[in-house]
Amino acid sequence: MARAEKVAAVAELTERFQTSAGAVLTEYRGLTVAQLAELRGSLGEHTTYAVVKNTLTKIAATEAGVSDQLDGLLTGPSAIAFVEGDVVEAAKGLRDFSRANPFLVIKGGILDGKAITPEEISRLADLESREVLLARLAGAMKASMSGAAAVLAALPTQMAQLAEALRAKRAAEAVAEGVAADGGAEAPADGAAADGAADGGTESAADGADAPEA
């Protein structure tokens, strides 16, 4: 490889290390060209799987500031999956392909600037993908909105029932006040009748007292 090509290769690798969400280093010894093509297809359009030269990759990793994270991993035939999309989806693709093709060995990688082990990559693969999580979130939001719509739809009926209850309560209070007022008016009338009866009794007694003188 000419010097200019090496410089260009290092620059490209450096940029990928700096811009990718994650990078998974693998050993592909024993895989055929057809199998590598199958692997690239299984990783999706947002992950680039590239066979790299260890010497150039070490230089690029140093320039990108991630050489410590790849320490000891750049041995043997190396290829790196640079992930620009969903890291979980890429981890699933690598894990599933390595199970079907044991020649693919996941050696470790970088996620958000931190080193990750093969075990951590396997645990990532067990998580739900971004698409599944977004679908679940959308479903939860839809259910929440449906519940809120039902509450809002019930408000007019509830307000009408409350208004009717208040009206009935006020009507009952008005009737009770009217009854109380009528009762208070009848009491003096009864008292007056009693006074009249008392006066009549007095007058009769008076007439009776005058009778002998006649």
Residues 149-170: tens digit of each pLDDT? 665 676 567 666 766 776 777 7
Contact 47, 24 (CB under 8 A): no
Please state the φ and ψ torsions of residue 65, each to the nearest 5 degrees. 80, 25
Q: What length is written for the chain?
A: 214
Sheet strands (E) in the chain: 22-27, 47-52, 78-83, 105-111, 114-116
Q: What proportion of the chain, given as a percentage, has pLDDT over 70?
A: 67
The pTM of the full predicted model, rounded to 2 decimals, is 0.60
The answer to whether residues 15 and 63 touch, using CB atoms and an 8 Å cutoff, is: no
Q: Are 83 and 129 in contact (CB under 8 A)?
A: no
**pLDDT tens-digit map of 39-92:** 999 898 889 999 999 999 999 999 999 999 998 999 999 999 999 988 999 999
Rounded alpha-carbon distances, angstroms, from residue 71 to 4, 182, 206? 26, 102, 136
Q: Pseudo-torsion of CA 63, 64, 70, 73, nearest 10°?
A: -60
Higher pLDDT, 127 or 151: 127
Structure tokens at 91: 């981890």
CA 20 to chain centre: 27
pLDDT bracket for residue 187 (50, 70, 90): very low
